[in-house]
Amino acid sequence: MDEFTHGDLQANGINIHYVEMGTGPVVIFLHGWPESWYSWRHQIPAVAAAGYRAVALNMRGYGHTDAPQDIELYTINHLVGDVVGAVAALGETEAVVVGHDWGAPVAWYSALMRPDVFRAVGCLSVPYNPPIGALPDGVHVNDLMRGAAGPEREYYRLFFQEPGVAEADMEQDVAGTMLGVLYTLSGDAVANGDLAEPTDGHFPIEQTMSEWLRVPTELPTWLTQADVDFYVGEIERTGFRGGFNWYRNIHRLFGGLSPFVGATIKQPSFYMGGSFDLIAGNSPEAIAAMKQALPDLRHVELLAGVGHWIQQERPEQVNAAMLDFFAGL
């Protein structure tokens, strides 16, 4: 990792750590849960070599970026504000924004809210969902998720809601948790027969999340022990709290986006997902709706047999498609 340049910037009231490489037009990468700038380790050199300034942020609550104590400081507006502020703090006026997992909604809505800053958007694993406005009074998204799960199933987003509960469960063995998350949501868990079908994040109500995760006896080919050790080291230092706080603000997402109901992303856009990835709404229905919502969606592709960690499971294919998209801007 010696080739990466590390830095820190001040934006939106917090310190944000980032890694960069290369010079040229800026491409800013946003990771998801429970990761790090490191999830873009295969993309940063490739994008830099193609003539871009590749910048990967440690998002709010992760790594060496600040993790505010107040749960309400992790709303979509704070997260988008971090990215907008980071572009300016880097001395730039515009960027292409790319996101994965939770970083994908942040990237989508950054492009929606600030088309003057983000000239294009590319996202992995989480399709675009147009704003629908605030939920009616008395309706809470947690109740909707509980109703969808039913009486016999837990749902990972619900399991994360109560402060301290998920932390206690998943921090008792950080190495096992990280390896379990990375493997269970990958295409390998299905291909190897450890899961009968790709998971959508529901699991038996009598289990905790750590009990449900599958931990492999051998690492998948796309993941090295050094990779696992890096992720584990980050979480052992920070804990999972910052990342969980993103989920604890899901109910604020709808109201926060309500000023943008009826608007859409007009900039060039890009999407890739894995055929074995159901964890964050990567469904045929959601992809069809995304195609209807985005007028300049230039690339949509599902990679066969790939799970949630698409840019790590199939970096060469992701890099090739992404660079082709960038070249056409």
pLDDT in tens, 44-90: 999 999 999 999 999 999 999 999 999 999 999 999 999 999 999 99
> Could you tell me if residue 73 is inside a domain?
yes
Q: Which of 196, 223, 247 is the last residue of a domain?
A: 247
Give the residue-averaged pLDDT of 304-319: 98
Q: Are 10 and 130 contained in the same domain?
A: yes
Give the residue-averaged pLDDT of 19-41: 98
Query: Which CATH number is 55's domain given?
Result: 3.40.50.1820
Q: Are 20 and 106 contained in the same domain?
A: yes
Structure confidence at residue 312 (pLDDT): 98
Q: Which of 220, 247, 274 is the last residue of a domain?
A: 247
d(C-alpha 80, C-alpha 108), whole Å: 9
Give the residue-averaged pLDDT of 184-194: 97
Domain encompassing residue 174 = 141-247
Instruction: Work out the pLDDT band at 3, boundaries 50, 70, 90.
Output: confident
> Could you tell me if residue 272 is inside a domain?
yes
Determine the Cα angle at 57 with ends 42 and 282, to 5°: 65
Q: Are 72 and 170 contained in the same domain?
A: no
Region of residue 244 (left: phi > 0; alpha: psi -120 to 50; beta: else): alpha
Joined together, the tokens standing for residue 300 give 């949509």
Q: Are 40 and 116 contained in the same domain?
A: yes
Would the pLDDT of 1 be above 70? no
Q: How many domains does the chain have?
A: 2
**Which residues are catalytically annotated?**
101, 308
Give the residue-averaged pLDDT of 256-278: 97
Q: Are 268 and 314 contained in the same domain?
A: yes
> Could you tell me if residue 252 is inside a domain?
no
Q: Are 33 and 123 contained in the same domain?
A: yes
Mean pLDDT of all residues belonging to the chain: 97
Question: Are the beta carbons of 74 and 248 closer than 8 angstroms?
Answer: yes
> Could you tell me if residue 222 is inside a domain?
yes
> Could you tell me if residue 177 is inside a domain?
yes
Helices (H), the chain: 43-49, 76-89, 103-113, 141-149, 156-159, 165-170, 174-184, 187-191, 209-212, 225-238, 241-247, 250-256, 284-293, 310-313, 315-327
Q: Are 113 and 210 contained in the same domain?
A: no
Q: Are 78 and 184 contained in the same domain?
A: no
> Could you tell me if residue 221 is inside a domain?
yes
> Could you tell me if residue 75 is inside a domain?
yes
Instruction: Work out the pLDDT band at 6, boundaries 50, 70, 90.
Output: very high
Q: Are 49 and 167 contained in the same domain?
A: no
Would the pLDDT of 231 be above 80? yes
Question: Are the beta carbons of 46 and 76 closer than 8 angstroms?
Answer: no
Question: Are the beta carbons of 258 and 133 closer than 8 angstroms?
Answer: yes
Distances (CA, A) of 51 to 22, 88, 92, 111, 215: 7, 20, 16, 22, 39
Pairing of strands 153-155, 118-124: unpaired
pTM (whole model) above 0.95: yes
Q: Are 154 and 75 contained in the same domain?
A: no
Structure confidence at residue 314 (pLDDT): 98
Q: Are 151 and 76 contained in the same domain?
A: no
Question: Are the beta carbons of 44 and 29 closer than 8 angstroms?
Answer: yes
d(C-alpha 199, C-alpha 201), whole Å: 5
Residue-wise pLDDT tens digits, 109-121: 999 999 999 999 9
Cβ-count burial of 312 within 10 angstroms (0-12 exposed, 13-18 middle, 19+ buried)?
buried
Q: Are 264 and 128 contained in the same domain?
A: yes
| Residue that is written with structure tokens 């529901």 in the block | 202
Residue-wise pLDDT tens digits, 131-159: 999 999 999 999 999 999 999 999 999 99
Structure confidence at residue 169 (pLDDT): 98
Structure confidence at residue 2 (pLDDT): 65
Region of residue 150 (left: phi > 0; alpha: psi -120 to 50; beta: else): left
> Could you tell me if residue 105 is inside a domain?
yes
Q: Which of 193, 215, 247 is the last residue of a domain?
A: 247
Residue-wise pLDDT tens digits, 191-216: 999 999 999 999 999 999 999 999 99
